[in-house]
Amino acid sequence: MRLVAVGSSTVDANADWATSHAFRFEVWSDPTGALIDGYGVRSEWDAAPMRDAFILDEMGRAIVHHEGAVSVGASPWDVLTDCEMLFGDDPDDGSDAG
């Protein structure tokens, strides 16, 4: 299992964001919106993605959906807590950082 964040910004912008928050997981870039559209999280108000989070099974199917998981005031670390509850605690997962 691995935790991955996906943003529609450039690789460099997403890397800066991840560094500024001390994330110890990958942040992917999706500037074409393939994942945004694939998981149906494109905003109805603009072209930006909604800030949802998913826990996916090995086939890429969403088994848990967090609406607004990384919106202002929320944190991807909350998603990590759910992963730990579902799959067990891993002392090297970065959960002590958030």
Residue ranges of the domains in the chain? Answer: 4-87
Q: What is the mean pLDDT of the chain?
A: 74
Scan for tokens 């450039």, then name that residue.
10
Q: Which residues pair with 42 in a beta bridge?
A: 49
CATH 3.40.50.620 fits 4-87, yes or no: no
Q: Which tens digits make up the pLDDT trace of 17-54?
A: 888 888 877 888 888 889 888 888 777 776 666 667 77
Instruction: Give pLDDT, residue 12.
Output: 93
Q: Which pTM was predicted?
A: 0.55
Distance from chain centroid for Cα 32: 17
Residue 65 has pLDDT above 50, yes or no: yes
Rounded Cα distance, 71 and 93, in Å: 22
Least confident of 30-34, 64-68, 93-97: 93-97
Nearest to 81 by CA among 72, 69, 73, 71: 69
Rounded Cα distance, 63 and 5, in Å: 16
